[in-house]
Amino acid sequence: MSDLVEYTREGSIAVITINNPPVNALSPGVPEGIAQAIERLNSDSAVQAAVVIGAGRTFVSGADIKEFGKMRAGGAQGTTSLPDLLNRIENSAKPVVMAIHGNALGGGLELAMAGHYRVAVPEAKVGQPEVKLGIIPGAHGTQRLPRLAGVAKAVAMCSEGSLVPATDAVKFGIVDRLITGDLRAGALSFTQEVANQRSPKTSERTGWQGTPGENAAVFAAARESARKKQRGMTAPLAAIEAVEAATKLSFEEGCRLERKLFMECLASQQSKALIHVFFGEREVAKVPGVPRETQAVAIHSAAVAGAGTMGGGIAMVFANAGIPVVLKEADQAALDRGLANIRKNYAGSVSRGRFTQEFVDERLKLIRPTLDYGAFADADIVVEAVFEGMELKKQVFGELDRLCKPGAILASNTSTLNINEIAAATSRPEFVVGTHFFSPANVMRLLEIVRGKRTSKEVIATVLQLSKRLGKIGVVVGNCRGFVGNRMFHHYVRESVFLVEEGASVRAVDQALFDFGMAMGPLAVGDLAGLDVGWRIRKEYRHLERPGIRQPIAGDRLCEIGRFGQKTGAGWYRYDEKRQAIPDPEVAELVRRWASEAGIPQREISADEIVERCIYALVNEGARVLEEGIASRAVNIDIIFINGYGFPAWRGGPMWYADTVGLKKVYERIRQFAWQHGEIWQPAPLLKELAEQGKLFAELGAKLGAAV
């Protein structure tokens, strides 16, 4: 028997324990070990039935994702034999009971469904999250799940990939019984009860199908929802097709179709990109120079300075994670406004069914409003979210330094300013760090963690750990204007404005990027965020602009005539009372006039060129960010753009996307742009180097940021 699977006896019941930490993935050796254990069960005259259980923190979290590369190439023993193993379990003459704690995901749930019964602790979760990796269940999940849970639930689980708590799974028939208390003991006693009964096979269940008419409606709705909510992704549609096949074909034929679709998805660019993102999200937690064993500071309480949109949102983030938080404003009116906003946000979450009223009441109790910094004295971490201006930030940090206890972390939510200069206003620069939340802070997953020259590794480790607790993905970045995200995004937006000035319509620019997969077009994003924000910053930094370098003009001119975006009812678009964006002929006319005054020739611009100009602007600046060590790996940039800027995950992020296009091709195109549009398009030296050597961004290892 393999070391990964253990066979023991408990009276007349065999206990088959899967022990492949950390998540009991079905790595090579595990399916083989389970197969041997099932064989032994059936030849062991001393036992009547078996329990399959996971060692450690979970049942089985799925196939081993690291093996997918080998599977694409036709190998990976363990996972390719999984469907066979599941049939062997189902055909076992002695009942097999699956005992679930932690989670049963993907191949883990498929394994569980091949058993004759399933029991679970109430805290467990089950799901078929494969679509999030760009694939579909590949070991009969799309065929067994509808037979247990019905067509509608199965199609939702397989196409959306969402997890179902065991307390619901029992209602849907996925789990037979909830076990409170010790799972092993509960599973053994359940197994005693069923040991002498005929073992029900999931694949042979009847009565689960709806009528053809009912099914057609379910699948049509699922397809419509997938096209809208998972726009551009192919796996959800393949998953729906596979579940639909369960309603029309025999179990064996359905499994064959599922296999074919699974292999097609596995070979796709989308699955490669999404798997890159899966590992990338975990990779970003590994920071050069901050070893895993670095001691993090315990965070029991927090404080937020500034109750504006960002400050209020950040306070909600702490409260949602169960961390008490003090929220300070300068005067009562501003504090009241901030609290009213928080209440309004929570009320929205309750009405959308995201939170219960009780949950919200508990969270609100954790937010303590104050007008006095004195209340910050006990906080383990303070996040400053006051107006974006260096002098004010320095003054606030000076005050925080005086009032906060030694060892408290002082974090700034600045999105552009120099963290070293802010840290210099304190006597504890090693405790100063940037925590750049994205708006709305309580919704967006990204947290840029800005490492100053003197920020200690303990502080970085603490904020990284905290970000996970807050439900965020923390990505450590170096200190420069705009850090990684806003610095690169600036180049992307700049190109979108240039394109409009050169003759593309506002709608055409946004549509091309929306069709590429971005959550919103750049000009619509500008209207949402407020065009005046960038305008004010550009005015402040105008003295730094180099003469002779083209600057976008149309966005600033719109601000000069009061078109700040959605908040003024007009920006690049006009907005109706429902905030619907309506293309505005007045803008088209104004831009033509400004372009002609500036001598910018007008021409037809294709959707492909729009995408190349905007996305390659990101890539070129991304290469510089890497060169300077502001991001320590290309995947960090990808994770930032996917989680903070609406870049489609199924394209893997801007740097991964460039790798898939081919860096030589990207580099050549950028050279053409440089020739047409001048110095701003000079290719980054790193891009040139990689293109000439036929290498990829993904091949660059992590390095300790030079600029950090």
* Residue positions annotated with a catalytic role: 110, 130
66 forms part of the interface with ligand 3H9 (CB under 6 A): yes
Q: Are strands 473-477 and 446-450 parallel, antiparallel or unpaired?
A: parallel
Structure tokens at 516: 């590429």
Q: Please pick, from the candidates 31, 106, 311, 622, the single residue that binds ligand 3H9 as defined by CB under 6 A.
A: 106
- With binding defined as CB under 6 A, does residue 146 bind ligand 3H9? no
Is residue 287 part of the contact set for ligand 3H9 (CB under 6 A)? no
Please name the residues in contact with 604: beta carbons below 8 A apart, sequence gap of 6 or more.
503
Which residues 230-259 are close enough to bind ligand 3H9 by CB under 6 A?
none
Residue in 112, 114, 119, 139 binding ligand 3H9, rule: CB under 6 A: 139
Q: How far apart are CA 698 and CA 623, in angstroms?
A: 12
Angle at 373 between CA 367 and CA 375, to 5 degrees: 50
Q: Rule CB under 6 A: is residue 78 a binding residue for ligand 3H9?
A: no
Q: How far is the CB of 463 from ligand 3H9 (least distance, A)?
A: 17
Q: Which stretch binds ligand 3H9 (CB under 6 A): 64-72, 212-220, 352-360, 580-588?
A: 64-72
| CA terminus-to-terminus distance, the chain | 50
Cβ atoms of 116 and 51 within 8 Å: the answer is no
Residue placing its CB nearer to ligand 3H9 in the complex, 107 or 534 = 107
CA distance 444 to 162: 18
Of 166, 60, 58, the C-alpha closest to 120 is: 166
Binders of ligand 3H9 among 9-28, rule CB under 6 A?
A: 22-23, 25
Residue (108 or 555) nearer to ligand 3H9, CB: 108
Residues with Cβ within 8 Å of 667's Cβ and at least 6 positions away in sequence, in order, are 683, 687, 688, 691, 692
- Kindly indicate which of the ranges 61-69, 432-440, 547-555, 651-659 contains the residues binding ligand 3H9, using the contact rule CB under 6 A: 61-69
Q: Which amino acid is at 506?
A: V
Which pair of structure tokens corresponds to residue 526?
């500008």
Q: Which helix (H) or strand (E) holds 663?
A: helix 663-677
By beta-carbon proximity to ligand 3H9, the closer residue of 255 and 315 is 255
Residue with nearest beta carbon to ligand 3H9: 106
Place of tokens 């730094």: 544
Any idea how long the chain is?
708
Judged by CB under 6 A, does residue 129 bind ligand 3H9?
Answer: yes
Of the residues 133, 156, 518, 637, which one makes contact with ligand 3H9 according to CB under 6 A: 133
* 64 is a site residue for ligand 3H9 (CB under 6 A): yes
Q: Which of residues 267-286 bind ligand 3H9 (CB under 6 A)?
A: 282
| Distance from C-alpha of 288 to C-alpha of 705, rounded to nearest angstrom | 8
Pair 59, 30: CB distance under 8 Å: no
DSSP letter, residue 138: -
User: In angstroms, what is the minimal distance from the CB of 67 to ligand 3H9?
Assistant: 8
Burial class (CB in 10 A: 0-12, 13-18, 19+), 492: buried
Q: Pick the closer one to ligand 3H9 by CB: 238 or 408.
A: 238
**What is d(CA 18, CA 31) in angstroms, rounded to the nearest whole number?**
10
Question: Is residue 478 involved in binding ligand 3H9 (CB under 6 A)?
Answer: no
DSSP 700: S
User: Around 570, how many Cα atoms within 13 Å sit in the side-chain half-sphere?
Assistant: 12
Is beta strand 446-450 parallel, antiparallel or unpaired with respect to 432-437?
Answer: antiparallel
Tell me the closest approach of the beta carbon of residue 368 to ligand 3H9, in angstroms: 30
Total chain residues near ligand 3H9 (CB under 6 A): 24
Q: Site for ligand 3H9 (CB under 6 A): which residue of 13, 18, 51, 63?
A: 63
The upper half-sphere exposure of residue 548, i.e. CA atoms within 13 Å in the direction of its Cβ, equals 2
At 50, which amino acid appears?
A
Q: How far is the CB of 632 from ligand 3H9 (least distance, A)?
A: 16
379-398 residues near ligand 3H9, rule: CB under 6 A: none
Candidates 101-109, 213-221, 303-311, 550-558; binding stretch for ligand 3H9 (CB under 6 A)? 101-109
For ligand 3H9, which stretch binds (CB under 6 A), given 136-144, 376-384, 389-397, 516-524?
Answer: 136-144
Give whichever of 86 and 630 is closer to ligand 3H9, judged by the CB atom: 86
54 binds ligand 3H9 (CB under 6 A): no
Give 2 or 511: the residue with its C-beta nearer to ligand 3H9: 2
H helix intervals, 268-327: 269-283, 309-320
From residue 165 to residue 184, what is the string marking binding to ligand 3H9 with x (rule CB under 6 A)? --------------------
Q: How far is the CB of 241 from ligand 3H9 (least distance, A)?
A: 15
- The stretch among 134-142, 290-298, 348-356, 605-613 that binds ligand 3H9 (CB under 6 A) is 134-142
Which two tokens mark 641?
């753009």
Residue 138 binds to ligand 3H9 (criterion: CB under 6 A): yes
Closer to ligand 3H9 by CB, 139 or 500: give it. Answer: 139
Nearer Cβ to ligand 3H9 (64/384): 64
Write the CA distances from 11 to 14, 98, 383, integer angstroms: 8, 18, 58
Kind plus residue range of the DSSP H or E element containing 67: none
Interacting residue ranges for ligand 3H9, rule: CB under 6 A: 22-23, 25, 61-66, 79, 82, 103, 105-107, 110, 129-130, 133, 137-139, 141, 282
